[in-house]
Amino acid sequence: MQPRFLGRVDYAPTYEAMQAFTVARTADTPDELWVCEHPPVFTQGLAGREDHLLAPGDIPVVKTNRGGQVTYHGPGQVVVYPLIDLQRAGYFVKEYVYRIEEAVIRTLAHFGVTGHRVAHAPGIYVRLDAPSSHALLAQRPQKKVPGALAADPDFTGLGKIAALGIKVSRHCTYHGVALNVAMNLQPFWRINPCGYAGLQTVDLSTIGIAVSWDEAAQVLSQKLQATLSP
């Protein structure tokens, strides 16, 4: 997998470039990992509802073909787009999502933070009162009880620190994951993040972790290369 550090790039042309790369690739095309940062932008997934855009104001909104609802990208956030042939890698979409989340959890652990999964809510979350606590969440994914209905996600005491949105076309992935490092978090209050009203969004800076964008980008890209390997 070849990492490409793109720097700060506009969202729309990067999205178009991912699509073009995926359409043009062949069975022999090496996988790539695009690492970047975007100017302020809201992006809507395929299922995105307009009522989750509360007050976008002067920040542009771009509709995309990824999964999920609305999220925000901006300076101080590491965005990584894995462009992977899943058929060649030898695993399916569900495991792909799990591996991306695992890379984020390992990245946070590198900086002394414990990342958590929440049942029925893709992405990674941290305890607001104890970001380094290893105590298991009651809200964590657990084995499904036959006949039981899926409960709504419970974000009590949690902040979302990484969002995930993917697209798979002809077994090949694009879009990806965003890790909040040191951002202006105010724009997240202009939306229902990932479609959840009142969901608090945090970054590493907010929970007391001082790390540069470059260092976070290097660590996350290394962890993704390791977890996404065939």
Domains in the chain with CATH codes: 2-227 (3.30.930.10)
Model pLDDT for residues 165-202, shown as the tens digit of each residue: 999 999 999 999 999 999 999 999 999 998 898 899 99
How far out from the chain centre does Cα 39 lie? 16
Average pLDDT over residues 62-91: 96
pLDDT of residue 205: 98
Please tell me the pTM assigned to this model: 0.95
Q: Distances in Å between the alpha carbon of 217 and those of 102, 135, 164, 207? A: 15, 27, 16, 18
How far out from the chain centre does Cα 111 lie? 18
Work out the pLDDT band at 47, boundaries 50, 70, 90. Answer: confident
Supply φ then ψ for residue 194, to 5 degrees. 55, 20
Residue 27 sits at the vertex; the CA angle it makes with 22 and 28, to the nearest 5 degrees, is 100
pLDDT of residue 24: 97
Model pLDDT for residues 86-139, shown as the tens digit of each residue: 999 999 999 999 999 999 999 999 999 999 999 989 999 999 999 999 999 999
Work out the pLDDT band at 143, boundaries 50, 70, 90. Answer: confident
User: Which of the residues are catalytic?
Assistant: 194
The mean of the pLDDT values for the chain is 95
pLDDT of residue 66: 95
pLDDT of residue 218: 98
Q: Distances in Å between the alpha carbon of 146 and those of 60, 138, 158? A: 44, 19, 28
Work out the pLDDT band at 37, boundaries 50, 70, 90. Answer: very high
